[in-house]
Amino acid sequence: MAFPVPVWLAVQDELLGPGEEDSGALSCFDSFDEEALFQTFHLTKPCIAFVADAVRIRMRTVAPKKPLVSVDAMVMVALDYYAHGVSTAAVLQKVGLTQSDGPASVVGAISGVIAGMSDQFISFPLTRDARVNLAAKTEKLCGIPRVLGVLAPAHFKIRASPYEKDTFRSFVNTQGYTSVVSQVICDSDGNILSVEKCCVGSTCEQEMWDSSFKGREMEEELHGAFWLIGGTGYHLTKHVLTPVSEPANDNEVRFNEAHAKIYSVMRSTLGSMKRRFKCLMQLGFAQEGSLNQKSNIIKACSVLHNIAKKFSVRPPPPAGKIEPLHAGKQPSVPTEINAEALKARQQVIDDYFSVVSSSQDTKSSNTTEEDA
């Protein structure tokens, strides 16, 4: 859900830390008008001011040593890189840096700081009321009950040298190109709820889920009896709801259509992120030792995505087709279907996607309207 800017500014002290004073104007951004800011950084002035304040406050604790350039200048260099995938000469000149000064180190430092803010700006629903409200919004969108969000592998392209064959192969994903992959969960509004892992592109998403913090929490019932929507690369479990592989009747077809509707939210969310942050279209070279750096950039862009949504900042318009979500890497050995999960999914189909349940819902709706 997006909130008006004044609402976010009013709670800024709570989000960024108690007792912090407003830092005032962002001098290095002053020469940009609103349109120029959006064209250059794909964000608005209030949003950028909020981000810069958050980074400044965080850096007082994680980086007490005074940087060579101002925090605002460092933020500007990082936002420029996120927006374009390169550090542009115009922005570097504005902050008094050149390519020989190593802007990548500035981007890396700021990415680490913003990624470290993910506990404040990327939040999975922790209370029962929050989960119930989130599930109600999802059910209103697709008709499937008790769904908190969508689970998917997010692939980000990288360059890999064909001469380094061992390294090259490990980064090739199911679509045939080299990438790194992170596990992402979003809600029905496209807010990022969780970002975990940063693995080579060939990593199986089920393997990522099984070893992830959120996967263990869900399967250990720490978040209650709720589902996450998963694609065909995941196993059907008590908490990951996959489509019916071979629908045998109209009920199962309707369920699959509803599943596809909510699952498509992840596709549009990742598409929106890659339009706003073009660095995600090409994350540098394939080096296993650099996965932490790439993970910080992915997390930083996820934090900024959520903040931009709260400030109602539109993403840049689409350019070409939105990249499809990956079909998923199928296990080499067939897995045994979880009988309890299969029964639970069938119950959802029978209760919410049968002709009888649909007619009852319609009748109930009509009765409610008449009573009103």
Does some domain include residue 185? yes
Which domain-ending residue is among 121, 141, 163?
Answer: 121
Does some domain include residue 371? no
Does some domain include residue 298? no
Task: List the structure tokens of 322.
Answer: 């939105």
For the chain, how many structural domains are there in total?
2
For residue 320, what pLDDT is reported? 66
Closest CA to 181 of 168, 194, 171: 171
CA atoms within 13 A on the CB side of 327: 6
Closest CA to 205 of 183, 189, 224, 237: 183
Q: Would you mind telling me the total number of residues written for the chain in this entry?
A: 372
Range of the domain at 35: 5-17+25-121
| Whole-angstrom distance, CA of residue 131 vs CA of residue 223 | 8
Asked if residue 251 and residue 145 are part of one domain, the reply reads yes
Q: Is residue 166 a contact partner of residue 140, using CB atoms and an 8 Å limit?
A: no
For residue 131, what pLDDT is reported? 96
| Whole-angstrom distance, CA of residue 106 vs CA of residue 67 | 10
The conformation of residue 86, written as its DSSP 8-state character, comes to: S
Which domain-ending residue is among 91, 121, 151?
Answer: 121
For residue 67, what pLDDT is reported? 66
Residue type at position 320: G
Q: What is the DSSP string of 255-268?
A: HHHHHHHHHHHHHH
Asked if residue 58 and residue 199 are part of one domain, the reply reads no
| Whole-angstrom distance, CA of residue 114 vs CA of residue 100 | 24
Which domain-ending residue is among 63, 86, 121?
Answer: 121
Asked if residue 134 and residue 59 are part of one domain, the reply reads no
Q: Is residue 255 a contact partner of residue 349, using CB atoms and an 8 Å limit?
A: yes
Indicate the pTM of the whole model.
0.87
Asked if residue 174 and residue 229 are part of one domain, the reply reads yes
Asked if residue 157 and residue 58 are part of one domain, the reply reads no
| Whole-angstrom distance, CA of residue 129 vs CA of residue 353 | 26
Does some domain include residue 360? no
Asked if residue 171 and residue 31 are part of one domain, the reply reads no
For residue 328, what pLDDT is reported? 62
Asked if residue 339 and residue 273 are part of one domain, the reply reads yes
Closest CA to 30 of 95, 86, 82: 95
Asked if residue 147 and residue 97 are part of one domain, the reply reads no
Asked if residue 320 and residue 194 are part of one domain, the reply reads yes
C-alpha pair distances (Å), 354 with each of 38, 82, 109, 251, 368? 47, 46, 54, 5, 21
Asked if residue 99 and residue 169 are part of one domain, the reply reads no
For residue 364, what pLDDT is reported? 43
Does some domain include residue 55? yes
Largest interatomic CA distance in the chain: 72
Q: What is the pLDDT along the chain (372 residues), one digit of tens a residue?
A: 444 444 444 445 555 554 444 444 446 888 899 999 999 999 999 999 999 999 999 988 765 566 678 899 999 999 999 999 999 999 999 998 888 878 899 999 999 999 999 999 999 999 999 999 999 999 999 999 999 999 999 999 998 776 776 677 888 888 888 899 999 999 999 999 999 989 999 999 999 999 999 999 998 999 999 999 999 999 999 999 999 999 999 999 999 999 999 999 999 999 999 999 999 999 988 766 678 899 999 999 999 999 999 999 999 988 766 667 776 666 666 677 889 999 999 999 999 999 865 544 544 444 344 443
Task: List the structure tokens of 70.
Answer: 């101002």
For residue 361, what pLDDT is reported? 53
Asked if residue 160 and residue 75 are part of one domain, the reply reads no
Asked if residue 46 and residue 71 are part of one domain, the reply reads yes
Does some domain include residue 333? yes
Does some domain include residue 156? yes
Does some domain include residue 367? no
Closest CA to 28 of 92, 84, 83, 98: 92
DSSP E strands: which ranges in 158-239?
179-186, 192-200, 227-229
